[in-house]
Amino acid sequence: MSSRQILIIGGSTRAAADSVRRAGWRPMCADFFVDWDLQQTAQTIPVRRYPESLPDDLAHIRADGWMYCGALENEPQILSRILEENRNLGPLIGAHPETLAHVRNPSWISSVLRAAGLPCLDVARQSAPPPPDSCWLQKPLSSAGGRQIRVWDEVAERSPFVEPHYFQRRVSGSELSVLFRCDEGKPPAWLGATRALRLANPLPAPTPYSYCGSTGPVTDLPDHIVRSITEIVTTIVSQTSGLNGLVGFDFIEDPQHAWLLEINPRYTASVEVLELASGRSLLSPQPVSCQAVSGRVESGRDHGTSENHQQRIVAKQILYAVESISAPELRHYFRSIDPWQTPIVTDIPQVPLTIDAGWPICTVFAEGSDPVAVEEMLRMRGEAVRSAIRA
């Protein structure tokens, strides 16, 4: 492993820490949860008051580069302070804070796509709400993981929504996340696609729009959908400076179009799914394969199309507390410190710990070549966690 040490900050940094290790680097992490398994594989930095205290907590840290993950894209002032005040962290691996004002602005995205004549969902400002006819979603401007999203209907109109928000027209289809590498002056590079996991969850999320997991890679996208996504992303990137590193683009795919929902200008939750399925690091600018470790062969795909019907599938599912619980004992599921080995359970909470209703408990994984078998494995592992809560 390289001596290069990378600082990761975010609400939960475990997945990014594993990706840093797959790239051959050493992670150090400052996050909200400080899960037990993160402490087994990375140096952790105490955070006094997340995220406000991060610039001060990192004042004496030295690193060879740093990156942020969800949901710090909603905190550009904090990121700017770290960039300006913490000179010993090395270069930022990711989007510059000034870029976030554009790519996290749904009105700006809409105007860019419309000017280019590309398909775009209607959006409306908080100050000019659309009719509450269930044809729109009400979404916080500082969204992350589907938090607080709800259908805009008469019930929602009568219920308070306390934070700044906007409205986006609803559309039916399949939820698709596409990961690109963006480097200034170069065309964005398609790294892979995943679908949102919509299986029955033994410990479901607090709202229908909460992020529950991913499965991938997606290898059956029609050519016209690939072309549409590529054109949308290329257009956005061409109008933005400072959008660097891994960037996630969330879409709804219907038979005719790919509709852009939002941009996640940082390491996303689906990165580890794509890395574990392909056996290659996506974080390192130079290709890094696990072939020497596990014997897997790099797939070499460029887009979401393939004739390989035995493609390895990896799926992850987040399990949530449906009521306030004591964190279950899950440390025996910790499989290996090898970042290339698909885990059984990750984001393992420390015990004793109280987990409030609606908060994540852990993440379960499954892999294989048969989608039905992978789903069944996820279900069994989710049930095992639920049993551990009851014990």
pTM here? 0.92
How far apart, in whole angstroms, are the C-alpha atoms of residue 316 and residue 342?
Answer: 10
**CB neighbour burial string for 143-161, b if at least 16 within 10 angstroms, e if fewer:** bbbbbbbbbbbeebeeeee
Q: What's the rounded mean pLDDT across residues 301-315?
A: 59
Query: What one-letter code names the amino acid at 111?
Result: S
Three-state SS for 316?
strand
- Percent of the chain having pLDDT more than 90? 85
The three state secondary structure string of 245-279 is: EEEEEEEEECCCCEEEEEEECCECCCHHHHHHHHC
What's the order of all strands across the beta sheet hosting 123-125? 123-125, 165-169, 136-140, 150-152
Residue 343 has pLDDT above 70, yes or no: yes
pLDDT at 341: 96
Confidence band (pLDDT; 50, 70, 90) for 47?
Answer: very high
How far apart, in whole angstroms, are the C-alpha atoms of residue 140 and residue 189?
Answer: 29
Torsion of CA 103, 105, 107, 109, to 10 degrees: 10
- Percent of the chain having pLDDT more than 70? 93
Confidence band (pLDDT; 50, 70, 90) for 310?
Answer: low
Q: What's the rounded mean pLDDT across residues 40-49?
A: 96
Select from 242, 328, 380, 248 the least CA-distant residue to 36.
328
pLDDT at 294: 36
Residue 190 has pLDDT above 50, yes or no: yes
